[in-house]
């Protein structure tokens, strides 16, 4: 989607008359007891460095480890790899050297737990299975819209109605002709639909005038309303070059907004995270477990989307080496404030103690990020009028209060709160300079 | 007393030129061309656009606009691939660095945003400059983004790669038998060391087996060899001492413009300002003898216009007067012009009264005159008190004798290879050097732009900009500073040091080299324990001080030498028929570094207020004798004259300069370069007028003849289009005696108006102005913040650093000469320079005091006319920075039909560009004429393509992202740098503390190291600005108008008797 399309009224009507299809998918587990326990243990203890497949992460991929080594050796290695290496064990030293002598820390697990983990590695289960959208076992609602079908039906009904009117008209004229014939006269009245309509209008001039006036003013109102919407892109929801889902990151994984948008606390701009920040997690989470996710109503494979990060970074997942030709991701900016507005995230988030959601809406529920608020000046100053300043325990405001005259204090504090407007939040040069 | 003085802004005002008066009735001197457009009926009927067409286009326009409005183009957001740890988009970083252009040294702080340097301010940690900066230094950030910089190395005018250069040039240098390197003064010790090893590797050693330093020649664009050689002879030190102006109770300058361009003027500004507060225990008394009206001269308490040929006589006379009093031998002196006798005696008296606490400086580049100055200072005991010969300054090391012998050697064809770094000798030395250069086989220039020398060289290896480079400096003995890059090189340039290291075969980067050099040479001189800590701190602070040894003064035959020198000087014959020309350097342009910088070209000259040109300055009364036009304005172009010195002639406009000594003229050096994409050169190169003696030592004075030329030349002056005629409450000034008496009513009376109440005799009672108010008290006076400014006219020298700082911080548009000429200069902050005529400081020769008084009895304009005969010859001068006064009862606010300019509850007069519809009512109603209107979209209109640096992609990078770039048709004005106020308030709120005094600074107050401009919260009882407001000297400009401004000025106090 390269252009923001303002919805026409008709389009809106159609949308209102939409109905949704919902499909519910349930994820069913069918693992034995110990693989289930093993999976949990693996996630808790091993997943940071190992993959259940053949892929190297920090340590080797563990696929086929049960066949390669015997159970006793594995137990020793897992409990204390360094001790095993010290005994001069060939297999242990081989791995140690292969991985540049990086030490696998001793794991506090008992034999039963090791069994469970190994069982899980031997049978990582249906995670590889392709299937309907499964995200961490949570049922996902998929919304589908079929615009073309609806449009077809809408126009069909209109055409049917037209045919009906024409037929009725013909029938009416026919009936009148017959009546006239019966009376021995020739029917002289209007014949076609057009003639009929003009007669109708000529007979009811008052009503026509009223309708015209209503239509004119209604149209004018509509025009003015429309003009106010120029440049307002509330609901703007472009698809991004990487199908990044805020729903997964901020919602399900509950990553704090400030982890990625750290600028919000320090700068006027909240910032878009650089790719090295993505790699803090996506070095390990590469989507190779075959999960899929929903984005803008469509299903995408995680591995493909995460691969885009690697491609941009020119990162080779096998050798874990960064290449020389990284390219930046060209995200599409969703919230566009005009250049003549100075907006500071820091002001609102730190000094004003506002939540991100106040302006950005329930981002944690959006897979495609959309512009939640209109970002109009009215919207800004409405909020400034109502919102109380976070004065409590702030030395700055204590000093400002000391400098107030009693009359001024009385004036601004009579309702119990000091709003942003009352300390100058409606002044032009607070945002425009 | 204060109310009887009259001020005038330009000759035309003083002269009662009727055209000037007429044009000044109007806000904009030129009529809008509406009549041209609509008045001509035939033209209108002929025009191809019919009414129907118009309606069609209108309809189409509306439809197109609505369509365009419905679809907004997609904006991309591109984050870093790998974000550097120290960069947060939207937050500025500051890095300490060092500026040195061969003339000025200044430790600086560079403000960067997202990796782009956008603002330069002085480094307050430096004990030398204490945060002072000059217009040239803070505007140098513009030169980084100059698209005319060389973008790659070149061989014979063709772009090449560095590998090709290294290959070919490496061979050529190896083949050279006689290789020389010619540099400007190098104050970087590590660079010196690199040059030494390069010469060591490329040339044969001298007899002692050391590096042959004869192959390294230093040459200054502006020579100071007069002082250097005199010091060598007098004290066996070929160096410039540190002048401690802060210790001098009496300052005598003979021609030296020490506040603007003479030696280390940035440092002298700080010291000078320290002595100029009348509230302090003592205030210095400053005498200035000079021919041109210099910036320093405008600040002097007593200024005596003299011919440059009299400098020697004056110094010798002073010497004799002092010697007589001390019972020492007199020297030979030719006859002193009787006009000066009393003043010279007065000066001598002051000097004798303040022995060891005075300072005498002279601009002459004549060794003999400088020897006499040394003798005079020594007699007065000024060495080791006001003049420090231990703490020598390294910023001027050029040796004209060496340069001359190099030129001779080049001419003889003996030089095989010459490398030229940091200077443009073809420009300053002239054709002789150009010819000599053509005889050298391999010539290498390190110029970063294609200057006149680079154009003559086979190899051009462009140096990176100082903001892209590592560097170090040792400007003064015991003082080191570091320069660090704040941006990667924009073009394919390489630092000189890196190039030389490459050709010498030195491993590693220049950064490593400096670090190693400092570890070995600077670190041991300090008390730091660990090198790594010392290094990190040095990079952070930018400056390091080391201890130096104090030595006893060692004079060598000084008295004898002075006597010999005096005899020589007395024997110089003066040709009194010719005009004596003094070549000077301007605050903005310097010796030429600012000539290609549009911001500096548009900075009005501090004295003449003329932009975009150099010109001949001449005394107005002499111009009248010659029937020259003494008015420079939009409607009145200047006369063109040809000035001839020797066999060189230059055509220039001639400008009336009150205070110019009669029989003298002045021309600024450094001009004659192309700015931006302009094809025409700006101004004329006056270096050919520099006369050299046989040793190559140049004199910046010469005898000139002038001839009239046909034609005229338009002049773009920034002042004269706005008048404040005859209003005494604009400037208040007094003398130190009156001030010290302590009665405020004598010099700064509280303004009163007659009230409706009457006393017992039926007379109306006067009441203080504050009691009359149409609007009632503004709440901001007591509540919250009230941002305000205090401007001390005693400390303001008028240098203009604040103006360029403001321009760069606030994205003020450069509009070019033609528009400035129309009175449309966009500067938010201007410095008004007022000449005043009444003062006859010593009340002697040719006093017109009585006449003036008499004249003042005449009402109206004729009073000014009467003053003319008095003091265009020697007016006193006041500089007054003028910006939006942020009036609490602002005239502009009440007349705006769309409420685009309103008042904030913090006392700010806010300007909302997006509301403005351009009626310009506010500008009409502004009492201070500080509102500027955007007549064009300067950053997009093709008319300004050549001039406005923001019109190209690289030039645009300097724009401050926190400030909107204004478009056509809106008014703009000073905002008190509200972006800074908001940022400081936010920081305070985040940290939960009140805003501290000093947290908020405007660009102008940051740039003012002398603290003439103080900004802060007038409601903060402990703030400096509040203290300024409460001073007895404080007043507000045209306070009687009742606009209740938030800018307070401090009455100017001159160190004169009442």
Answer for the pair B1051, B1035: CB distance below 8 angstroms, yes or no. Answer: yes
| B1 half-sphere exposure, CB direction, 13 A CA radius | 15
- Rounded CA Rg of chain B: 30
In a domain, A235, yes or no: no
Residue B422 gets the label, from left (phi > 0), alpha (psi -120 to 50) or beta, of left
Q: Of A331, A365, A399, which residue constitutes the final position of a domain? A: A365
Same domain, A392 and A312: no
Handedness of CA B652, B658, B662, B667 (dihedral sign): negative
Question: What tens digit of pLDDT does each residue of B1011-1023 get?
Answer: 899 999 998 888 9
Q: B971-972 and B76-77 as β-strands: parallel, antiparallel, unpaired?
A: unpaired
Alpha carbon distance B884, B905 (integer Å): 17
Q: How many domains does chain A have?
A: 4
Phi, psi of B1017 (to 5 degrees): -100, 115
Range of the domain at A217: 163-228
Contact B81 A393 (CB under 8 A): no
For B406-437, write each residue's pLDDT tens digit.
999 899 888 888 999 999 999 888 888 999 99
B151 contact partners, CB below 8 Å, separation of at least 6: B159, B462, B491, B492, B493
- Does residue A263 belong to any structural domain of this protein? yes
Which residues in chain A have Cβ-Cβ distances shorter than 8 Å to B975?
429, 433
- Chain A residue with CA closest to B810: the answer is A433
Strand-pairing partners, residue B1047, are B789
CB contact under 8 A, A277 and B90: no
All residues of chain B having their beta carbon less than 8 Å from the beta carbon of residue A271 are 79, 88-90
Among A365, A387, A421, where does a domain finish?
A365
- In the prediction, which pLDDT does B668 show? 93
* Residues 6+ away with beta carbon under 8 Å from A424: A430, B784, B904, B905, B906
Sign of CA dihedral B554, B556, B560, B565: negative
Smallest Cβ–Cβ distance between B72 and the set A233, A266, A429 belongs to: A233
C-alpha B81/C-alpha B153 separation (Å) is 31
What does the alpha-carbon distance between residue B997 and residue B453 come to, in Å, rounded to a whole number? 50
Residue A15 pLDDT greater than 70, yes or no = no
Q: Under an 8 A CB cutoff, do B76 and A333 touch?
A: yes
- Domain B751-837+880-1054, CATH: 3.30.70.20
CA B99 to chain centroid: 15
Mean pLDDT confidence for A101-114:
81
Which are the contacts of B409, defined by CB distance < 8 A and separation ≥ 6? B178, B180, B415
* A396: nearest CA partner in chain B: B994
Alpha helices in A123-204, H assignment, sequence order = 147-182, 193-203
* Closest residue in B to A277 (Cα–Cα): B82
Helix axis angle, A111-122 relative to A33-41, nearest 10°? 100
**Residue A112 sits in the same domain as residue A168:** no
Answer yes or no: do A321 and A293 share one domain.
yes
Pull the structure tokens for residue B196. Answer: 């030494």
pLDDT tens digits, residue range A42-56? 877 787 778 777 777
Say how far apart CA B422 and CA B444 lie, in whole Å: 12
Residue among A333, A399, A424 minimizing CB distance to B906: A424
CB-based contact A276 B82, cutoff 8 Å: yes
> In terms of DSSP H, where are the helices of B10-50?
11-15, 18-25, 34, 41-46
Using a 10 angstrom Cβ sphere, with 0-12 exposed, 13-18 middle and 19 or more buried, the burial of residue A410 is exposed
Which of B779, B975, B994 is the closest to A399 by Cβ? B994
- Smallest Cβ distance to B992: which of A329, A339, A395? A395
d(CA B586, CA A146): 75
Closest residue in chain A to residue B899, using alpha carbons only? A428
Shortest alpha-carbon distance between residue B964 and chain A (Å): 6
Q: Where along chain B do the CATH 2.40.40.20 domains lie?
A: 575-717
Question: Distance between terminal CA atoms of chain A?
Answer: 34
A359 and A405 housed in the same domain = no
Of the pLDDT bands very low, low, confident and very high (cuts 50, 70, 90), residue A105 is confident
3-class DSSP assignment, residue A253: coil
Q: Return the higher-pLDDT residue of A128 and B936.
A: B936
Question: Do residues A333 and A272 share a domain?
Answer: yes
Mean pLDDT of chain A: 80
Q: Is residue B443 within a helix (H) or strand (E), and if so which, with residue range? A: strand B442-445
Nearest CA distance, A268 vs chain B (angstrom): 6
pTM recorded for the entire structure? 0.80
Q: Please list the residue range(s) of chain B that carry CATH number 3.40.50.740.
A: 154-222+398-469+493-517
* A152 located within any domain: no
B-chain residue closest to A4, CA distance: B71
Q: The tokens of A84 are what?
A: 């095993």
Q: What is the mean pLDDT of each run of 10 residues along chain B (1058 residues)?
A: 53 57 54 55 59 69 59 80 87 93 91 92 91 92 91 90 89 86 92 89 76 85 90 89 92 92 91 92 92 92 90 90 87 81 90 91 91 91 89 90 90 89 90 89 90 90 93 92 92 92 88 92 88 92 88 81 86 82 91 90 91 91 86 81 91 90 92 84 90 85 90 85 54 87 84 80 80 69 86 92 94 91 91 71 33 47 48 80 92 91 90 92 91 92 89 90 91 93 92 90 91 91 91 88 89 85
Facing residue for A433 by CB, picked from B74, B902, B978: B978
* Span B225-391 CATH architecture: 3-Layer(aba) Sandwich (3.40)
Last residue of a domain, one of A314, A344, A365: A365
Name the class of domain B575-717: mainly beta
| Confidence grade of residue A178 (pLDDT, cut at 50, 70, 90) | confident
One domain, residues A359 and A395: no
CB burial class (10 A; 0-12, 13-18, 19+) of residue B870? buried
CATH 3.40.228.10 residue spans of chain B: 225-391
Indicate whether A4 belongs to any domain: no
Instruction: Note whether residue A210 is domain-resident.
Output: yes
Together in a domain, A286 and A321: yes
| ipTM > 0.95 (yes/no) | no
**Residue B79 distance to chain A (closest CA, Å):** 5
> Are A98 and A205 in a shared domain?
no
State the CATH number of the domain containing residue A50. Answer: 1.10.760.10
A234: in domain: no
Domain with CATH 3.30.70.20 in chain B: 751-837+880-1054
In the three-class reduction of DSSP (H, G, I as helix; E, B as strand; rest coil), residue B136 is classed as: helix
Number of helices (H), then strands (E), in chain A: 20, 5
Q: Please give the CATH topology (third level) of the domain spanning B154-222+398-469+493-517.
A: Rossmann fold (3.40.50)
Alpha helices in B358-399 (DSSP H): 367-379
The pLDDT, as a whole number, for residue A12 is 37
Cβ–Cβ below 8 Å for B992 and A333: no
Question: Do the Cβ atoms of B989 and B1000 come closer than 8 Å?
Answer: no
Same structural domain, A219 and A263: no
Q: Tell me: do A257 and A353 sit in the same domain.
A: yes
Helix axes B367-379, B311-326, angle to 10 degrees: 30
Is residue A344, in this structure, part of any structural domain at all?
Answer: yes
CA–CA min distance A412, chain B (Å):
12
> A269 and A345 share a domain?
yes
Position A7 pLDDT exceeds 60: no
Radius of gyration of chain A (CA): 34
Nearest to A393 among B906, B911, B992 (CB): B992
């Amino acid at each position: 989607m390269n252009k923001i399309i303002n919805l026409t009224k008709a389009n809106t009507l159609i949308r209102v008359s939409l109905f949704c299809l919902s499909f519910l998918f349930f994820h069913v587990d069918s693992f034995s007891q110990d693989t289930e326990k093993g999976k949990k243990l693996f996630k808790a203890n091993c997943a940071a460095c190992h993959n259940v497949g053949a892929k190297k992460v920090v340590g080797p991929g563990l696929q086929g480890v049960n066949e390669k080594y015997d159970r006793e050796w594995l137990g020793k290695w897992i409990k204390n790899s360094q001790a095993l290496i010290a005994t001069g064990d060939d297999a242990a030293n081989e791995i140690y050297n292969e991985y540049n002598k990086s030490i696998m820390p001793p794991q506090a697990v008992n034999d039963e737990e090791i069994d469970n983990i190994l069982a899980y590695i031997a049978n990582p289960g249906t995670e590889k299975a392709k299937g309907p959208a499964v995200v961490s076992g949570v049922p996902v609602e998929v919304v589908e819209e079929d615009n073309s079908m609806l449009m077809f039906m809408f126009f069909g009904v209109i055409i049917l109605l037209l045919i009906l009117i024409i037929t009725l008209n013909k029938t009416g004229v026919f009936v009148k002709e017959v009546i006239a014939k019966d009376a021995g006269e020739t029917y002289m009245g209007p014949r076609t639909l057009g003639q009929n309509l003009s007669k109708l209008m000529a007979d009811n001039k008052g009503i026509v005038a009223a309708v015209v006036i209503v239509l004119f003013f209604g149209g004018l109102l509509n025009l003015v309303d429309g003009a106010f919407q120029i440049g307002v892109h509330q609901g703007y929801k472009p698809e991004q070059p990487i199908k990044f889902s805020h729903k997964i990151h901020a919602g399900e994984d509950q990553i704090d907004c400030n982890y990625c948008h750290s600028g919000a606390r320090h700068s006027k701009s909240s910032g878009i995270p650089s790719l090295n920040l993505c790699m803090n997690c996506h070095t390990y989470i590469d989507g190779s477990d075959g999960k899929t996710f929903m984005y803008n109503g469509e299903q995408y494979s995680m591995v493909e989307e995460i691969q885009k990060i690697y491609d941009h970074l020119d990162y080779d997942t096998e050798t874990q080496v960064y290449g020389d030709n990284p390219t930046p991701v060209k995200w599409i900016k969703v919230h566009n404030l005009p250049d003549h507005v100075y907006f500071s995230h820091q002001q609102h988030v730190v000094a004003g103690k506002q939540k991100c959601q106040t302006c950005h809406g329930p981002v944690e529920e959006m897979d495609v990020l959309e512009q939640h608020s209109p970002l109009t000046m009215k919207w800004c100053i409405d909020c400034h009028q109502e919102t109380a300043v976070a004065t409590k325990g702030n030395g700055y405001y204590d000093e400002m209060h000391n400098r107030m005259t009693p009359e001024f204090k009385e004036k601004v504090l009579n309702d119990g709160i000091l709003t942003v407007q009352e300390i100058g939040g409606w002044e032009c040069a607070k945002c425009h300079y | 007393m204060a109310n009887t003085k009259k001020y005038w802004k330009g000759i035309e005002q003083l002269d009662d030129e009727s055209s000037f008066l007429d044009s000044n009735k109007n806000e904009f001197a030129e009529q809008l061309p509406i009549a041209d457009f609509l008045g001509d009926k035939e033209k209108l009927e002929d025009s191809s656009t019919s009414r129907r067409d118009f309606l069609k286009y209108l309809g189409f326009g509306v439809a197109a606009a609505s369509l365009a409005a419905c679809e907004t183009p997609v904006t991309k957001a591109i984050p870093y691939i790998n974000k550097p740890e120290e960069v947060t988009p939207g937050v500025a970083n500051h890095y300490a660095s060092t500026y040195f252009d061969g003339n000025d040294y200044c430790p600086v702080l560079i403000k960067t945003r997202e990796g782009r340097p956008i603002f330069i301010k002085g480094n307050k940690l430096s004990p030398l400059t204490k945060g002072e900066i000059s217009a040239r230094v803070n505007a140098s950030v513009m030169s980084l983004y100059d698209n005319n910089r060389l973008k790659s190395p070149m061989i014979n005018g063709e772009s090449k790669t560095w590998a090709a250069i290294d290959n070919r040039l490496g061979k050529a240098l190896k083949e050279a038998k006689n290789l020389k390197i010619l540099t400007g003064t190098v104050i970087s010790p590590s660079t010196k060391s690199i040059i030494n090893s390069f010469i060591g590797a490329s040339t044969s050693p001298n007899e002692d087996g050391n590096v042959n330093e004869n192959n390294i020649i230093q040459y200054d664009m502006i020579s100071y060899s007069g002082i250097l050689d005199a010091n060598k002879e007098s004290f066996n030190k070929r160096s410039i001492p540190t002048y401690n102006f802060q210790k001098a109770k009496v300052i005598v300058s003979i021609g030296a413009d020490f506040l603007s361009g003479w030696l280390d003027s940035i440092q002298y500004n700080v010291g000078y300002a320290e002595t100029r507060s009348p509230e302090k225990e003592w205030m210095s008394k400053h005498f200035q003898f000079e021919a041109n009206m210099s910036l320093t001269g405008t600040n002097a308490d007593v200024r005596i216009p003299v011919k440059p040929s009299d400098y020697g006589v004056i110094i010798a006379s002073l010497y004799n007067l002092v010697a007589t009093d001390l019972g020492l031998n007199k020297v030979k002196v030719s006859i002193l012009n009787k006009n000066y006798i009393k003043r010279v005696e007065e000066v001598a008296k002051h000097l004798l009264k303040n022995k060891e606490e005075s300072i005498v400086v002279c601009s002459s580049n004549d060794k003999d005159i400088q020897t006499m100055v040394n003798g005079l200072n020594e007699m007065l005991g000024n060495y080791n008190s006001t003049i420090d010969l231990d703490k020598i300054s390294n910023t001027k090391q050029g040796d004209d004798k060496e340069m001359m012998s190099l030129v001779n050697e080049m001419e003889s064809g003996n030089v095989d290879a010459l490398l030229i770094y940091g200077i443009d000798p073809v420009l300053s030395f002239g054709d002789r050097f150009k010819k000599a250069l053509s005889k050298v086989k391999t010539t290498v220039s390190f110029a970063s732009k294609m200057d006149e020398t680079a154009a003559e060289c086979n190899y051009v290896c462009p140096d990176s900009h100082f903001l892209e480079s590592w560097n170090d400096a040792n400007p003064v003995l015991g003082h080191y500073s570091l320069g660090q890059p704040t941006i990667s090189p924009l073009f394919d340039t390489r630092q000189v040091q890196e190039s030389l290291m490459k050709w010498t075969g030195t491993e590693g980067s220049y950064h490593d080299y400096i670090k190693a050099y400092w570890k070995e040479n600077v670190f041991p001189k300090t008390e730091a324990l660990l090198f790594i800590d010392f290094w990190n701190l040095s990079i952070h602070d930018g400056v390091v001080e080391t201890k130096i040894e104090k030595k006893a003064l060692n004079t060598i035959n000084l008295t004898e030498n002075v006597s010999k020198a005096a005899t020589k000087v007395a024997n110089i014959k003066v040709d009194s028929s010719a005009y004596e020309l003094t070549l000077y350097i301007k605050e903005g342009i310097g010796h030429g570094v600012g000539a290609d910088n549009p911001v500096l070209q548009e900075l009005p000259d501090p004295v003449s207020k003329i932009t975009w040109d150099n010109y001949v300055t001449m005394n107005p009364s002499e111009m009248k004798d010659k029937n020259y036009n003494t008015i420079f304005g939009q409607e009145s172009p200047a006369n063109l004259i040809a000035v001839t010195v020797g066999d060189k002639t230059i055509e220039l406009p001639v400008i009336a300069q009150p205070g110019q000594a009669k029989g003298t003229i002045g021309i600024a050096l450094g001009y004659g370069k192309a700015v931006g994409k302009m094809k025409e050169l700006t101004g004329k190169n006056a270096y050919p007028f520099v006369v050299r003696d046989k040793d190559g030592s140049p004199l910046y004075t010469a005898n000139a003849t002038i001839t009239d030329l046909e034609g005229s030349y338009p002049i773009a002056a920034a002042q004269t289009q706005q008048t404040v005629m005859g209003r005494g409450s604009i400037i208040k000034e007094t003398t130190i005696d009156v001030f010290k008496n302590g009665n405020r009513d004598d010099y700064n009376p509280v303004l009163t108006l007659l009230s409706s109440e009457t006393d017992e005799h039926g007379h109306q009672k006067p009441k203080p102005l504050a009691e009359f108010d149409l609007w009632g008290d503004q709440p901001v006076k007591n509540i919250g913040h009230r941002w305000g400014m205090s401007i001390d006219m005693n400390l303001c020298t008028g240098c203009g650093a604040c103006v360029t700082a403001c321009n760069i911080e606030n994205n003020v548009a450069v509009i070019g000469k033609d528009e400035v000429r129309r009175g449309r200069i966009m500067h938010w902050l201007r410095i008004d320079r007022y000449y005043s005529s009444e003062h006859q400081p010593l009340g002697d020769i040719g006093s017109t005091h009585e006449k003036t008084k008499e004249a003042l009895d005449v009402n109206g304009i004729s009073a000014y006319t009467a003053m003319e005969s008095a003091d265009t010859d020697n007016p006193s001068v006041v500089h007054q920075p003028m910006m939006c006064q942020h009036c609490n009862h602002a005239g502009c606010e009440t007349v705006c039909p769309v409420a685009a300019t309103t008042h904030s509850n913090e006392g700010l007069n806010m300007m909302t560009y997006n509301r403005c519809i351009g009626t310009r009512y506010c500008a009409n109603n502004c009492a201070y004429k500080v509102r500027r209107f955007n007549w064009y979209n300067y950053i997009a209109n093709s008319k300004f393509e050549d001039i406005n640096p923001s019109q190209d992609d690289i030039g645009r990078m300097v724009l401050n992202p926190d400030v909107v770039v204004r478009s056509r048709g809106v008014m703009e004005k000073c905002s008190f740098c509200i972006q800074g106020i908001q940022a400081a308030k936010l920081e305070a709120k985040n940290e939960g503390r009140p805003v501290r005094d000093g947290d908020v600074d405007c660009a102008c107050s940051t740039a003012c190291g002398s603290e003439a401009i103080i900004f802060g919260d007038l409601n903060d009882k402990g703030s400096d600005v509040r203290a300024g407001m409460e001073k007895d000297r404080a007043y507000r400009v045209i306070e009687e108008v009742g606009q209740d401004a938030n800018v307070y000025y401090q009455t100017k106090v001159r160190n004169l008797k009442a």
